[in-house]
Chain A
Amino acid sequence: GESVGLHLPTLSVQEGDNSIINCAYSNSASDYFIWYKQESGKGPQFIIDIRSNMDKRQGQRVTVLLNKTVKHLSLQIAATQPGDSAVYFCAVPDGATNKLIFGTGTLLAVQP
């Protein structure tokens, strides 16, 4: 089955800097990828998704990059703000079902 891993458990950045959070997946047939943000005491909040027919997708201050060759995706947050402090998860559906396999999460800490 699919497995998903994140490269760093914690990332500390200065307010205003750009943040990059990485994720690796194992199944080369995976065709849909999602990033969620989870603030303390809340459920995961959808940020952005990308399908395998794309290499890059941009949202408001966020960009997701997908490298299918090395089975890696990243979430870039521009001009990081204190409100961006949270745990970020990448998630991938497991094969033919919509069961999501989550990475372990990266805690983003934004220093003022």
Chain B
Amino acid sequence: KAGVTQTPRYLIKTRGQQVTLSCSPISGHRSVSWYQQTPGQGLQFLFEYFSETQRNKGNFPGRFSGRQFSNSRSEMNVSTLELGDSALYLCASSLVGDTQETQYFGPGTRLLVL
């Protein structure tokens, strides 16, 4: 079974631009979560989507948004990019997002904001 895939793998943007990242979960998984990883803050939860609805949200500004499609694929968008948005963005999928389900991570999208 194919793992979680994320595209693109690398991205360079400039301040003020916006970016869209994509995540395809493991086949059959309906919950998709997004995390930001930086050297200073570590892994931080952004949001979780299930059945095309945002179910949980982390402590990030409204510039960070996402959506999920009927096939469970998910996208996240960051508008008005700031230098501090440079990070590895990871998505993770699980069957239904139960608290005792394993979440499987993709390889991440490394975003560099100049």
List residues of chain A with CB under 8 Å of any chain B CB. 31-32, 34, 36, 41-46, 49, 51, 89, 91, 93-94, 96-105
- Assess whether B42 is in contact with A105, with CB atoms less than 8 Å apart: yes
**B76-114 vs A, Cβ < 8 Å mask (1 yes, 0 no):** 000000000000001010100111111111111000000
Q: Verify if B8 is at the interface (C-beta below 8 Å from A).
A: no
CA distance A91 to B99 in the complex (A): 12
- Assess whether B107 is in contact with A43, with CB atoms less than 8 Å apart: yes
- Assess whether A97 is in contact with B104, with CB atoms less than 8 Å apart: no
Q: In the complex, which of the residues B55, B56, B105 contacts A44, with contact meaning CB atoms closer than 8 Å?
A: B105
Q: Verify if B64 is at the interface (C-beta below 8 Å from A).
A: no
- Assess whether A102 is in contact with B42, with CB atoms less than 8 Å apart: yes
- Assess whether B100 is in contact with A32, with CB atoms less than 8 Å apart: yes
Known: A46-B104, A93-B100, A104-B42. 13 other contacts (CB 8 A): A34-B103, A36-B105, A41-B107, A43-B4, A43-B108, A44-B90, A97-B55, A97-B99, A98-B97, A99-B33, A99-B45, A99-B48, A100-B92
CA distance A97 to B92 in the complex (A): 14
B46 (CB) vs chain A CBs: closest residue: A99
Q: What 3 pairs across the A-B complex have the smallest Cβ distances? A: A43-B105, A102-B43, A32-B100
Q: Can you list 27 residue pairs at the A/B interface with Cβ under 8 Å?
A: A31-B99, A32-B99, A41-B107, A42-B108, A43-B4, A43-B6, A43-B90, A43-B108, A44-B90, A49-B102, A51-B100, A89-B43, A93-B100, A94-B45, A97-B55, A98-B31, A98-B48, A98-B99, A98-B101, A99-B33, A99-B45, A99-B58, A100-B43, A100-B103, A101-B45, A102-B43, A104-B42
B3–chain A nearest beta-carbon distance, Å = 9
